[in-house]
Amino acid sequence: MSSHYSEDDLTLYYYREGRYASHRERSRSDLSRHLQTCAACAALYHDISSTLALVVADEVPERGDQYGLEVWQRIRHRLPERRSGFGRFAELGRLAGFGAGFSRFFKWDGVALAGAAALLAVAAFIAGRTWQSPGTTPPVAGNLASPGSTINPATRGNPANPSGSDTARSRILLTSVADHLDRSERVLTEIMNTGEPGDISAEQRWAEDLVTASRLYRQDAMDAGEQSVATVLDDLERTLLEIVHSPSKIGAADLEQIRRRVDAAALLFKVRVMSEELRQREAAPDGRSAPRTSTSTVS
Amino acid sequence: MDATETAAVLARARQGDGDAFRALVERHSRSAFRLAFRMTGSEQDAEDVVQEAFLRAYKQLGRFELRANFGTWLYRIVANCSVDLMRAKLSRHDMSRSESLDETVETAEISAHGGAGPERLAESAEIQRRVRDALGALSPLERAAFTLRHYEGRSIEEISATLGLGTSAAKHSVFRAVRKLRVALAPLRSQVS
């Protein structure tokens, strides 16, 4: 080679990369010979190799055997709720009063899980057939706080007279949905108040987490006959998805489109009102008797 | 933990089993910290990266292919969290220096003529400080690619896969890093040799 080698070539040669990888003996020996005869390339290579020789790794601070445990302790409370189908089923079972044993049971393998799910479905069917006599109070439509919400009221005792544990479970559900709405409101507010088009990757990550939760809560609300809650959650889910699927470096047009959707659906208003209503119902003595002021009007 | 046991733990973690995920955290935290420290050069930043990486891993477990190696997958997450953190810091401090070779040169010259004598330069601690400064002047991506190549011994293809870059982009990130370091450390090099 009559001309000089480039700095990039010499860097590849130093690291034995690309066309100067160890097994490329021909290329390596050509360059090596050139370095012996070309003072300019030899000087440049000397510069590169002596520079890189100076770059020695700092000693990594020692971390003890318990470090993993420390990390776990720091992050455990920050882990988002994440439930697969069976995990969610187990959680619902726990809420429905089956207790921790039920949850552990649902950590078994897939066959056991599928069998158990089928068994529960049959049990629910039989229970429904047995308990739904003509004189039974019909399920109260639109009552997320009724016993067994998710947890269909029709399959449980008299909704007009919930037991203490049922009320507690209902409150957990109300609190969860209200918290979810509050978190969603914060994301929407961030997006609405973003000063200029820019990086919304943090909001997108947040929204991504909320989408899954929103879907689960919407299904729960539908199961419980809470159509207005489900409708708000459905609107919310669509907007969150739009945020998630927008470019991280969002332009003015995309940002405006999201804002128009939020405005058009009066989504922020609905989310706030719904959250407030659920909080009121949560605070009511029986967990459901607070006036349902605006559920029907916000959706 | 053998392969079968690891697969079982991963499967449970994917189903939302906190205990299973805890086992993964306990097993991989130290290696995650080592990489994060190399990438960021800061103990505190490395701690932040480790935590963020596990949180991100937890959220993305559903996408993890069970046949794949969790350690390799986590390695990528740690590397990318490190880049994100460095970018965020850069953005917060409005440090436009990262992309400017001219400023790097200027910094190096000021540093070299700033009164440090040969005796002091001979001290490895001082050399290390200069090297750290030079590394700190690289852009996040350059630093990440260089760290993976120089300290971690990763090939260009591996760097490309880890950082989600094209091969050419990964290679040129390493080239730019070496070029900047060569310029920035030139005064130090001449005084040491």
CB contact under 8 A, A58 and B132: yes
Split at pLDDT 50, 70, 90, the class of B49 is: very high
Nearest-CA distance B161 → chain A (Å): 16
Q: How far is CA A69 from CA B1, B15, B97, in A?
A: 17, 21, 38
User: At residue B184, does pLDDT exceed 90?
Assistant: yes
User: At residue A121, does pLDDT exceed 70?
Assistant: no
Residue A167: per-residue pLDDT:
62
DSSP letter at A249? B
Nearest-CA distance A44 → chain B (Å): 10
Highest mean pLDDT of the ranges A16-30, A127-141, A279-293, B84-98:
A16-30
User: Alpha-carbon Rg of chain A, whole angstroms?
Assistant: 31
Is there a contact between A228 and A222 (Cβ–Cβ < 8 Å)?
no
User: At residue A272, does pLDDT exceed 50?
Assistant: yes
CB contact under 8 A, B182 and A83: no
CB contact under 8 A, B30 and A58: no
What whole-number percentage of chain A has pLDDT above 70?
63
User: At residue A131, does pLDDT exceed 80?
Assistant: no
User: At residue A280, does pLDDT exceed 90?
Assistant: no
C-alpha–C-alpha distance, residues B183 and B102, integer Å:
10
More confident residue, A93 or A199: A199
Q: Which of B50, B58, B128 sits opposite A71 (nearest CB)?
A: B50
The mean-pLDDT minimum among A255-259, A284-288, A292-296, B91-95 falls in A292-296
Contacts of B43 in chain A (CB under 8 A): 61
User: At residue B54, does pLDDT exceed 70?
Assistant: yes
CB contact under 8 A, B51 and A208: no
More confident residue, B151 or A198: B151
Q: Which of A17, A58, A61 sits opposite B128 (nearest CB)?
A: A58
CB contact under 8 A, B188 and A54: yes
Rounded to an integer, the average pLDDT of A101-125 is 43
Residue range B128-161, pLDDT digits in tens? 888 999 999 999 999 999 999 999 999 999 999 9
CB contact under 8 A, A82 and B127: no
Q: Dump strand ranges (E) for chain A.
A: none
Phi and psi for A83 in degrees, rounded to 5?
-125, 130
ipTM: 0.82
Split at pLDDT 50, 70, 90, the class of A223 is: confident
Two tokens, residue A236 = 């919310």
User: At residue A174, does pLDDT exceed 70?
Assistant: yes
pTM value surpassing 0.90: no
Split at pLDDT 50, 70, 90, the class of B92 is: low
Residue range A34-76, pLDDT digits in tens? 999 999 999 999 999 999 999 988 889 999 888 999 999 999 8
**Which residue's entry shows tokens 């090297």?**
B131
User: At residue A17, does pLDDT exceed 50?
Assistant: yes
Residue A70: per-residue pLDDT:
93
Residue A199 in 3-state DSSP?
A: strand
| Crossing angle between the packed helical segments B167-184 and B101-112, to the nearest 10 degrees | 30
Residue A137: per-residue pLDDT:
35
